[in-house]
Structure 1
Amino acid sequence: MTEKVRGTEAQEFSPEFKDEAVHMMIEQSRPIAQVARELGLIEGPLGNWVNAYRRSHPGEEAPLTTSERAHLRELEKEVRELRMKTEFLGKAAAFFAQEYR
């Protein structure tokens, strides 16, 4: 069964094409946006194909390397810090808006 994807015009993609696109993402750890752009696709359907593959093949992806895990920890730390800053700035903005009235 082929799937139609809306873009400038409807296109149909074979299961083989979808598998190749998914493998470009998963095996090469490439972003959806980059692969979609290279293949002339919309990101949404490609993301759906990847999600379907991951649901049907749990545990097949390679584990993170040591450097990838370290980078992930750094990003998680940065996200926590940015959330704290955002929360603080929101409270400060509310305080000053209330004081201004």
Structure 2
Amino acid sequence: MSDKHRNFSPQFKAEAVPLVVTAGRPVAEAARELEINPGTLGSREHAWRRNNPEPEPEMSPVERARLSDWRRFRRAVRRRRERISRAQSTDVAGPTHHRNIAAEAY
């Protein structure tokens, strides 16, 4: 078994992630340069991004208006679905379009 488990110092770990995060380099390229497994560096980068999320960019007035319109539309759709659902649950005979009209002719 030629592969040996390597232990990395905290300093090495702290310096490896910025190669990917701040420099914008691909994980595979940085991992090759550091001679470590790309999965290891990718996991550390993912953990760093999870603990240090980027702030949400400020929305423009147009984007805010679109979001407001979208939310208003979704509320209207939800209310309509609730009304239809309540109407169907109180309708004992069921919707009229499911009746067999040919059978009623006899």
Please give the TM-score of this superposition, normalised by the length of structure 1: 0.50
Bigger Rg over Cα: 2
Q: Greater share of strand residues, 1 or 2?
A: 1
Which of the pair has the greater relative contact order for Cα pairs under 8 Å at 6+ separation?
1
